[in-house]
Homo-oligomer: A and B are copies of this chain.
Amino acid sequence: MTAATTIRKSFGSDNHSGTHPAVLRAIVEANTGDAVAYGADPWTERATSELRRLAGADGEVYLVLNGSGANVLGLGLLLGRHEAVICAGTAHINTDECGAAERILGTKLLTVPAPDGKLTPESIATRLAGRGDEHFAQPGVVAITQSTEVGTCYSLAELGKIRDFCANNGLRVFMDGARLANAAAYLGCTLGELAEHADVLSFGGTKNGAMGAEAVIVMRPADAGSAPYLRKQHMQLSSKMRFLAAQFSALLADDLWLRNARHANAMASRLAAGLADLPAVDVIHPVEADAVFARLPRQHIAELQREWTFHVWDETTSVVRWMTAFDTQERDVDDFLASIAAVAAARRA
């Protein structure tokens, strides 16, 4: 690959990054001889055992191919055939997966406005009015995202309230953990302390430095019975599974997953701190993970996008999303901040 095909450090998404060198090394090292396909191999045994241990799961762990695959499988394990899902309007499953949950599971998403990306017992309760009435979609699962789609994190206390509310109301909890590592890093807690608030959760490798690997963690054996079959039906069963497993083992070794997340979070915080001096830019959500959501003038956005890669989050409100990653350098952040400041200065001049 020549330099021409690479791009300047992207603030577009944490999946614009490549693969962490240690992960790549693990993949290369796993390429030795034959292994029985579909997960009956020692790499998979090792990675899933370790994930189970870290999550404190009595159930099972299933490696899958991507984040939508993890979400749809996780929801499918918890949903009765007729049931619906309560989630934030901002939830990835609602806004960014092209309707995969509806298509694959035939379920309805009952959304709740959540400006900060978080559900609460109170907001969940607003969607329970029609329970027991056959005309209304019947919520069976509450789906939360940790860290959220707007870069915030549920505190453990907030998670506890949701878990208790759900337990008391016959609702199961699915946690979309595409960026679970970033939440653990922010909260300074273990994977287990997060996992215990869910019935099923995903744990994302890809945005954390993997090439492409996600885990679905089923906390209790009773919820895992159909998982192998649904994973296959959902086309999420990898034949050369050892290469998914090796990625996770590399991330788990020496807490690489946590170090990667801490670093990405720190880079987002550095970016947010630098923005504090720029009156033209408003950071609109607390920066608790690897994302900065900012409002800035439309012309500034257009000018910045000539040089830098990032997404406009909301055209109408002129809000952008700037994401960092495990491999974002302080220098990248500082260069980016300089560009933002320069655009602002030029415009002001």
User: A181 → chain B, closest Cβ, in Å?
Assistant: 16
Contact assessment for A136 and B16 in the assembled complex, using a CB-CB cutoff below 8 Å: no
Contact assessment for B10 and A30 in the assembled complex, using a CB-CB cutoff below 8 Å: no
Contact assessment for A6 and B33 in the assembled complex, using a CB-CB cutoff below 8 Å: yes
Residues of B within 8 A of A225 (CB): 80
Residues of B within 8 A of A240 (CB): 15, 18-19, 206, 211-212
User: Contact mask A30-72 → B, CB, 8 Å, 1/0?
Assistant: 1111111110011100000000000000000000011111001
Q: Is A306 an interface residue (CB 8 A)?
A: no
User: Contact mask A222-265 → B, CB, 8 Å, 1/0?
Assistant: 00011011111111111110110000000000000000000000
Candidates B42, B135, B242; contact of A97 at CB < 8 Å? B135
User: A147 → chain B, closest Cβ, in Å?
Assistant: 17
**A6 to B35 alpha-carbon distance, docked (Å):** 6
Contact assessment for B309 and A36 in the assembled complex, using a CB-CB cutoff below 8 Å: yes
Contact assessment for B100 and A235 in the assembled complex, using a CB-CB cutoff below 8 Å: yes
Q: A6-B35, A80-B226 known; A232 and B19 CB under 8 Å?
A: no
Contact assessment for A235 and B235 in the assembled complex, using a CB-CB cutoff below 8 Å: yes
Candidates B35, B43, B65, B135; contact of A235 at CB < 8 Å? B65
Q: Is A167 an interface residue (CB 8 A)?
A: no
List the interface of chain A (C-beta within 8 A of B): 1, 3, 5-10, 12-13, 15-19, 21, 24, 27-38, 41-43, 65-69, 72, 76, 79-84, 95-100, 102-104, 106-109, 129, 134-138, 206-207, 211-212, 225-226, 228-240, 242-243, 309, 315
